[in-house]
Amino acid sequence: MSICASFEIEHRQFLDADGKLRANAPELARDFPQLIALYKQMLMVRVFDAKSVALQRTGKLGTYASCLGHEAVHVGIGSAMRPEDCFAPSYREYGAQFCRGVQPREVLMYWGGDERGNDYSGPRHDFAWCVPIATQCLHAAGAALAYKLRKEPRAAVCTVGDGGSSKADFYGAINVTGAMTLPLVAVIINNQWAISVPRKAQTGAQTLAQKGIAAGLPCVQVDGNDLIAVRSAMDTALQRARKGEGGSVIEAVTYRLSDHTTADDARRYRDDAEVKAAWAREPMKRLRAYLEAHKHWDDKQEEAWKAECAAHVDAEVNAYLESKAQPLTAMFDYTYAELPLDLARQREAALAREQAH
Amino acid sequence: MAQITLIEAVTQALAWEMKHDPSVVVLGEDVGVNGGVFRATVGLQQKFGPERVIDTPLDETTIAGLTVGMAAQGMKPVAEAQFEGFIYPMMEHIACHAARMRTRTRGRLHVPAVYRAPWGGGIRAPEHHSEANEHLFTNIPGLRVVMPSSPARAYGLLLAAIRDPDPVMFFEPKRIYRQYKEEVPDDGEALPLDVCFVLRDGQDITLVTWGAQVKETLEAADALAQEGISAEVIDLATIKPLDFDTIAESVAKTHRCVIVHEAPYTAGFGAEVAARLAEHSMYDLHAPVARVTGYDTHIPLFRLEMKYLPSVQRIVEAAKRTLAV
């Protein structure tokens, strides 16, 4: 007998749950201006998220998918990307998208039942929110293939959940990425729960990162509540992709502190004790502790920034609430580049009916 | 000028468009070195290289999703499903993304892609290689569904499909891939999408069909002519969106209509044509509309498949029954 191949999965954490820095941390750990900027971005997301849930609870927003607890992984991804890179999200990665120029009012517009939310600011080539699970992974792979064929130094990034990593689309995306050496970074955001189904029910694999091994890709598991670890893994993977060396798989281990969406009640399927333990590991607290320990942040700054976040979010909420619904004809007008005669007649009839009433 | 078959016309159209538009790429299983299992892409990889004629991993979901992603980023991919019966894993990407991208992003992104598939039965193929399921796509907003029935229409319609800014399903009737040859100038001239083709003028009855059944339907029209019955034959060609006006005009003249298709009876696309005739042409009709279709069964394996497919005789009989009313 001989070993024909062997593998191991590295777990990367630089900032532990108490905000203590571990050895061999990357330069970012000492770049306090940048860390502060990223922390502020994370706090902005958290304030926005809380406000969005409140809007739904008061009937001013449709079903909303909260990102509570995902701030480090989302901001880590978004801040590492360049505008010309392409992001293919699922449906709760607002932190990454805000880094790329998407506006909070656009998120609200989408969950508020208006397609214009997906006609968002930020890179116009980024993909739309993607509710059918994991399909975005193949769209990102297709984008990566387009960039490779055109010899553009760009990378595509997709995010998928622990549940989504069970889907054929995810496996297909990482497989073709390995087979064709595509510039794709596939990030599995393992938040432990696919609605009510726990991570352990998704796969017998010890880690989700190791799925990349079967595709021939470098893969790493990072503490997804550690901004520095996420950002460092993203920097490495994006650099490799842009240099034409191929794709990577990153598993970011975090925890969904919220319900799946506002239509869900997580108390039906998980223990309070588990959630309480997860709160002790959440991403904001440790980064704040680290910044405060090095005298780069304090309560006063925290309160001042929170107030700024609240003011910004309120302005965005108002912009959303003041927006008018699209005209009836909008449902027809984007179905094709040019409306076929058949559909043009349906449009005319619908319009005439509305005008008659 | 060379005479070419329908499948050679497909190859010719792909080659023309790849030569004139660098954003056009072909991808699928065995489309490269092998030139496709039916040889639709033969010679293209030698001509345009492996970066533009791409042998993908063997996964239809991957092909369909890559196509969405590439198209949304400025390419014009022409994806091949090796057989219509293998297209089911592609449907999520086609319905939820390719067909929907423009509307869900208010036009920010769109998917100018073509999904090609050899379609239908009658070639003594193994199981799952003979499906006719075009009607599954005609209910999906945002798609075009195109089915050529001659070498010239395959060439012109495929060029139009690739140039169209929206996703097009292009179903190629493989039973008539090599049925006959005709002259097809390689001039890059596209045919219009969204219109029917009147293949034969007639006065007494309208026969509506598409795809491979154009062959049997034209033969049925010949047989009826021998009995003094003048049948008009319409090839829908683009079944979605439907050019109903051409059908209505014909029925206003003939007052009778038989619809012929290979797919199963219930909710086949013939049901849509019949429903529109009931809505808009009721007072032109002198007899109920008749349908000659596959049965509501799975297409049998090949020992029985010719008994499933609409035959010339079944079409002639239906036409005569309609004329007897």
CATH of the domain at A146: 3.40.50.970
Q: What is the pLDDT of residue B278?
A: 98
Cβ(B194)–Cβ(B143) under 8 Å? no
Q: B62-107, pLDDT tens digit by residue?
A: 999 999 999 999 999 999 999 999 999 999 999 999 999 999 999 9
Best of B76, B101, B106, B272 to disrupt the A interface by mutation (most A CBs within 10 Å)?
A: B106
Looking at beta carbons, which residues of chain B come within 8 Å of A88?
Answer: 69
- Is residue A249 domain-shared with residue A355, that is, in the same domain? no
- Is residue A255 domain-shared with residue A348, that is, in the same domain? no
Q: What is the pLDDT of residue B84?
A: 92
Cβ(A98)–Cβ(A45) under 8 Å? yes
CA B10 to chain CA mean position, Å: 12
- Separation in Å, CA of B170 to nearest CA in chain A: 17
Measure CB to CB from residue A138 to each of B52, B62, B75 and give the nearest one.
B62
Domain B197-324 annotated CATH 3.40.50.920? yes
- Say if A157 is an interface residue toward chain B (CB within 8 Å): no
Q: What is the pLDDT of residue A103?
A: 98
Cβ atoms < 10 Å from Cβ of A351: 14
Q: A30-56, pLDDT tens digit by residue?
A: 999 999 999 999 999 999 999 999 999
Does residue A185 lie within any of the structural domains?
yes
Q: Read off the tokens for A237.
A: 């993977």
- Is residue A319 domain-shared with residue A340, that is, in the same domain? no
From residue A141, how far is each of A235, B92, B272 by CA, in Å?
Answer: 19, 16, 37
Q: A110-167, pLDDT tens digit by residue?
A: 999 999 999 999 899 999 999 999 999 999 999 999 999 999 999 999 999 999 999 9
Q: Give me the number of domains chain A comprises.
A: 2
pLDDT below 70 — which residues of chain A?
none
Looking at beta carbons, which residues of chain A come within 8 Å of B104?
Answer: 115, 118, 128
- Say if A83 is an interface residue toward chain B (CB within 8 Å): no
Q: ipTM for the complex? A: 0.96
- Is residue A247 domain-shared with residue A332, that is, in the same domain? no
Integer Cα distance of B229 and B167 in angstroms = 40
Q: What is the pLDDT of residue B6?
A: 98
Q: What is the pLDDT of residue A357?
A: 84
Cβ(A229)–Cβ(A251) under 8 Å? no
- Separation in Å, CA of A340 to nearest CA in chain B: 7
B3-183: what CATH class? alpha beta
- Is residue A170 domain-shared with residue A50, that is, in the same domain? yes
- Say if A21 is an interface residue toward chain B (CB within 8 Å): no
Q: Read off the tokens for B97.
A: 């993304």
Measure CB to CB from residue B102 to each of A135, A142, A334 and give the nearest one.
A334
Looking at beta carbons, which residues of chain A come within 8 Å of B246?
Answer: none
Integer Cα distance of A148 and A152 in angstroms = 6
Integer Cα distance of A132 and A165 in angstroms = 13
Cβ(B123)–Cβ(B147) under 8 Å? no
Q: Read off the tokens for A48.
A: 């926005």
- Is residue A311 domain-shared with residue A322, that is, in the same domain? yes
Cβ(B142)–Cβ(B149) under 8 Å? no
Helix (H, G, I), strand (E, B) or coil at A281: coil
* Contact between chains at B51 and A149 (C-beta distance less than 8 A): yes
Looking at beta carbons, which residues of chain A come within 8 Å of B194?
Answer: 340-341
What does the mean pLDDT of chain B come to? Answer: 97
- Separation in Å, CA of B162 to nearest CA in chain A: 14
Does residue A1 lie within any of the structural domains?
no
Q: A103-116, pLDDT tens digit by residue?
A: 999 999 999 999 99
pLDDT of residue B1 exceeding 80: no
Of all residues in chain B, the one with the smallest CA distance to A114 is B104
CA A156 to chain CA mean position, Å: 13
- Is residue A164 domain-shared with residue A302, that is, in the same domain? yes
Instruction: List the domain range (segments joined by +) for residue A344.
Output: 328-357
Integer Cα distance of A125 and A351 in angstroms = 32
Does residue A239 lie within any of the structural domains?
yes
Looking at beta carbons, which residues of chain B come within 8 Å of A179?
Answer: 57
In what side-by-side order are the strands of the sheet with B144-146?
A: B53-55, B24-28, B76-80, B114-119, B168-173, B144-146, B238-240
Does residue A296 lie within any of the structural domains?
yes
Of all residues in chain B, the one with the smallest CA distance to A118 is B105
Closest of B263, B120, B243 to residue B193, by C-alpha: B243
Of all residues in chain B, the one with the smallest CA distance to A174 is B62
Of all residues in chain A, the one with the smallest CA distance to B52 is A149
Integer Cα distance of A167 and A203 in angstroms = 11
Does residue A202 lie within any of the structural domains?
yes
* Contact between chains at B75 and A119 (C-beta distance less than 8 A): no
Cβ(A24)–Cβ(A269) under 8 Å? no
Judging by DSSP bridges, how do beta strands B144-146 and B238-240 pair with one another? antiparallel
Of all residues in chain A, the one with the smallest CA distance to B76 is A146
* Contact between chains at B108 and A124 (C-beta distance less than 8 A): yes
Residue type, A248: S
Integer Cα distance of B114 and A255 in angstroms = 41
Looking at beta carbons, which residues of chain B come within 8 Å of A334?
Answer: 102-103, 106-107
Looking at beta carbons, which residues of chain B come within 8 Å of A127?
Answer: 69, 72, 109
Q: Read off the tokens for A155.
A: 């990378």
- Is residue A20 domain-shared with residue A90, that is, in the same domain? yes
Of all residues in chain A, the one with the smallest CA distance to B57 is A176
Q: Read off the tokens for A1.
A: 């007998």
From residue A344, how far is each of A170, B111, B241, B243 by CA, in Å?
Answer: 38, 21, 11, 12
Judging by DSSP bridges, how do beta strands A156-161 and A86-88 pair with one another? parallel
Question: What is the four-CA torsion angle of B61, B67, B72, B75, rounded to 10 degrees?
Answer: 170
Helix (H, G, I), strand (E, B) or coil at B146: strand
The structure's pTM equals 0.97
* Contact between chains at A119 and B107 (C-beta distance less than 8 A): yes
* Contact between chains at B66 and A140 (C-beta distance less than 8 A): no
Q: If phi over 0 gives left and psi between -120 and 50 gives alpha, with beta otherwise, what is residue A215? A: alpha
Q: What is the pLDDT of residue A355?
A: 93
From residue B216, how far is each of A181, A201, B22, B208, B246 by CA, in Å?
Answer: 48, 54, 39, 12, 21
Does residue A210 lie within any of the structural domains?
yes
Report which DSSP code applies to B300: P
- pLDDT confidence of B153, banded at 50, 70, 90? very high
Which residues have CB under 8 Å from B270's CB, separation 6+?
Answer: B208, B259, B260, B261, B291, B293
Cβ atoms < 10 Å from Cβ of B187: 9
* Contact between chains at B69 and A135 (C-beta distance less than 8 A): no
Q: Report how many Cβ contacts below 8 Å link chain A to chain B.
A: 134
Integer Cα distance of A305 and B85 in angstroms = 58
State percent of chain B over pLDDT 90.
99
Helix (H, G, I), strand (E, B) or coil at A200: helix
Does residue A345 lie within any of the structural domains?
yes
* Contact between chains at A173 and B65 (C-beta distance less than 8 A): yes
Measure CB to CB from residue B106 to each of A149, A179, A334 and give the nearest one.
A334
Closest of B173, B167, B146, B165 to residue B157, by C-alpha: B146
User: DSSP string spanning A8-40?
Assistant: --EEE-SB-TTSPBPTT--GGGG-HHHHHHHHH
Q: Where are the beta strands (DSSP E) in chain B?
A: 3-4, 24-28, 53-55, 76-80, 114-119, 144-146, 168-173, 182-183, 197-200, 205-209, 231-235, 238-240, 257-264, 290-294
pLDDT of residue B2 exceeding 90: no
Q: Would you name the residues of B annotated as active-site residues?
A: 129
Helix (H, G, I), strand (E, B) or coil at A234: helix
Looking at beta carbons, which residues of chain B come within 8 Å of A335?
Answer: 102-103, 141-142
- Separation in Å, CA of B236 to nearest CA in chain A: 14
Looking at beta carbons, which residues of chain A come within 8 Å of B106?
Answer: 115-116, 118-119, 330, 334
Does residue A101 lie within any of the structural domains?
yes
CATH 3.40.50.970 maps onto chain B at 3-183
- pLDDT confidence of B229, banded at 50, 70, 90? very high
CATH 3.40.50.920 maps onto chain B at 197-324
- Say if A159 is an interface residue toward chain B (CB within 8 Å): no
Measure CB to CB from residue B97 to each of A135, A145, A330 and give the nearest one.
A135
- Say if A350 is an interface residue toward chain B (CB within 8 Å): no
Q: Read off the tokens for B66.
A: 């890559």
